[in-house]
Amino acid sequence: MKKDNKLAVLIDGDNVPSKYIKEMMEEITKYGTPTIKRIYGDWTKPHLAKWKNVLLETAINPIQQYSYTTGKNATDSAMIIDAMDILYSGSVDGFCLVSSDSDFTKLATRLREAGMQVFGIGEKKTPDPFIVACDKFIYLEILHTDQESDGSKGKTIKSNVDKITPKVIRLLKQTVDDAADEDGWAFMGDVGSLILKKQPNFDSRNFGFDKLTPLFKSTNQFEIEQKDQSGGRFKLIYVRNK
């Protein structure tokens, strides 16, 4: 994934707690450079007051959107219109849509149809339609949790981590099979990319692991092998079903 991608970060201020913003912006820089940073909301409302200092520290541009009538979300509409304007300007390579609202499902789909990379960021309550409409979906909870090492390499203990269920194991095994060569070995990078295509919200951090390889090792269901990269400094990691 190119780190020089220009990204538009559009935040639904009515739908995302301000406590997540610093960790979220750090996460976004892993996928590109946030060249457009906007947050939408009715800034006359008291519940958005907590955002003031955070926005100054992160240089996010607040966009005022009055609530014209009760029961209608004008913020969503303003964010969608701006996203389409940015798309047609040709100034970015991808979008980060920050919300836990399924109303942005159609927007994410439309942006991907136009060749844009779309990263969704929201809380675990986010409905599935919005999650699967994105190339990758990141839960805010894994970016903002108290964590401590348990002494195992590559593993951290976090609150609210998901369990590695038989369904997760089946996903891992099937994906290794799909990406494997004739000997059953699959490059871990290819496995990770394929898992995301199948399940955009899959993230090793959801299970308390900072990387994918320690997650695979913890299940005792796979063989892991490191191979020297031809002409490279780093070893390549391969995985095979036992």
Tell me the per-residue pLDDT of 206-223, one tens digit each, with 9 for 90 and over: 999 999 999 999 999 999
- Name which residue leads in pLDDT, 242 or 156: 242
Same domain, yes or no: 120 and 103 = yes
- Name which residue leads in pLDDT, 75 or 206: 206
Domain that holds residue 22: 6-142
Q: What is the mean pLDDT of the chain?
A: 87
Kindly tell me if the per-residue pLDDT of 70 is higher than 80. Answer: no
Residue 133, number of CB atoms within 10 A of its CB: 22
* 111 domain residue, yes or no: yes
Same domain, yes or no: 24 and 136 = yes
Q: For the ranges 23-32, 75-84, 230-239, which has the lowest average pLDDT?
A: 230-239
Domain edge (last residue) among 142, 175, 190: 142
Q: Express each pLDDT in 77-94 by its tens digit.
A: 889 999 999 999 999 999
pTM over 0.85: no
